[in-house]
Amino acid sequence: GESVGLHLPTLSVQEGDNSIINCAYSNSASDYFIWYKQESGKGPQFIIDIRSNMDKRQGQRVTVLLNKTVKHLSLQIAATQPGDSAVYFCAENGENSGYALNFGKGTSLLVTP
Amino acid sequence: DAGVIQSPRHEVTEMGQEVTLRCKPISGHDYLFWYRQTMMRGLELLIYFNNNVPIDDSGMPEDRFSAKMPNASFSTLKIQPSEPRDSAVYFCASSLGWGNTEAFFGQGTRLTVV
C-alpha cells in the first residue's frame, strides 16, 4: 500500500557538521511533505513542510529537498547542534487522506561533541 | 495556551481492564487526531475528528478501541478490554483548519498492559 519510509534508522554526526536525513515515499498524490522532530519523552514537533509542486524550501538552519522523479525527500540540518539530537520523521498528507498526517518510521539523529 | 494536554502521562493496567485516555486539544483547533506509537509500527493514525465528528476511524485496530469527542475541548480513547499488545505510547494532536500540515502533539500517554 501507500507508505512513507526511511533509508536509515540511525545517523551519528559530529557537532558542527551538516546532517542529511533521507526519506522515500510512494504516494504520488500527496499534497505536502513534512518533517517532524521528536525528542525523548515528548510528542513530535513540526519542523518544516514543502508543497508537492516545489523542490526546495529553506528554514532556519534546515532545508528540505523534494525529488518527485525518484520519490525522495531529504532534510538537511546545517551546523548540527547537540539539541538537534532526536528522532526525525517524514510525513505526508493530502486531500486523499483527509489531510491526516501519514508518518514514516523515523531516523534517530545523534550529535556527538 | 498550554498546548495539547493528555492524561494520564503513564498508565499501567492489568490485561482485561478498561483503559481511558484523555485529551484536551488547543482551543480553536478544528481537527483532533489520535496516534499510537510503537517501535515496530512507528506512528499509526488511529482516528481523527473534525469539529467533534469522527471522520476516519479506519486505523482503529479492533472493536476493543473506541474514541469520542463530546465537545470541542475534550476527547477520549477507550480500550476495553485491554491486552498486552496494546502497550504503546498514545498521542493526541490537534491542528487548525483543512490542509494544515502543522499538528500540535501532546506529551503522550505511555500505556503498559501486564
Task: Give mean pLDDT, residues A9-26.
Answer: 94
pLDDT tens string B79-97:
999 999 999 999 999 999 7
Per DSSP, the residues of chain B read: ----EEE-SEEEE-TT--EEEEEEPPTT--EEEEEEEETTTEEEEEEEEETTEEEE-TT--STTEEEEEEETTEEEEEESS--GGG-EEEEEEEE-STT---PEE---EEEEE-
Say if the Cβ atoms of B105 and A45 lie within 8 Å.
Answer: yes
Say if the Cβ atoms of A46 and B99 lie within 8 Å.
Answer: no
Count of other CB atoms within 10 angstroms of residue A36 = 27
Chain A residues within an 8 Å CB radius of B90 = none
Per-residue pLDDT tens listing for chain B (114 residues): 689 999 999 999 999 999 999 999 999 999 999 999 998 889 999 999 999 999 999 999 889 999 999 999 999 999 999 999 999 999 999 999 777 889 999 999 999 999
Say if the Cβ atoms of A98 and B56 lie within 8 Å.
Answer: yes
- Rounded to the nearest integer, the mean pLDDT of chain B is 95
Comparing alpha-carbon positions, the chain A residue that sits nearest to B92 is A43
Say if the Cβ atoms of B99 and A99 lie within 8 Å.
Answer: yes
For the cut 70, the answer to whether the pLDDT of residue A6 exceeds it is no
Q: How far is B19 from chain A (nearest CA, A)?
A: 21
Nearest by Cα to A24 from A105, A112, A108: A105
For the cut 80, the answer to whether the pLDDT of residue A5 exceeds it is no
- % of chain B exceeding 90 in pLDDT: 88
Chain B residues within an 8 Å CB radius of A32 = 99, 101
**Contact yes or no for A64/A73 (Cβ under 8 A):** yes
Chain B residues within an 8 Å CB radius of A43 = 4, 91, 93, 105-108
The Cα–Cα gap between A109 and A41 comes to 15
Comparing alpha-carbon positions, the chain B residue that sits nearest to A87 is B42
- Which pLDDT score, from 0 to 100, does residue A1 have? 36
For the cut 60, the answer to whether the pLDDT of residue A7 exceeds it is no
Chain B residues within an 8 Å CB radius of A42 = 105, 107-108
Collapse the DSSP code of B85 into the 3-class scheme (helix H, G, I; strand E, B; otherwise coil) and give the result.
helix
Say if the Cβ atoms of A102 and B45 lie within 8 Å.
Answer: yes
Comparing alpha-carbon positions, the chain B residue that sits nearest to A99 is B99
Q: How far is residue B98 from each of residues A30, A60, A101, B93, measured CA to CA in Å?
A: 14, 26, 12, 14
Comparing alpha-carbon positions, the chain A residue that sits nearest to B50 is A98
- Which pLDDT score, from 0 to 100, does residue B97 have? 76
Q: Count chain A–chain B contacts defined by CB atoms under 8 A.
A: 57
The Cα–Cα gap between A74 and A61 comes to 14
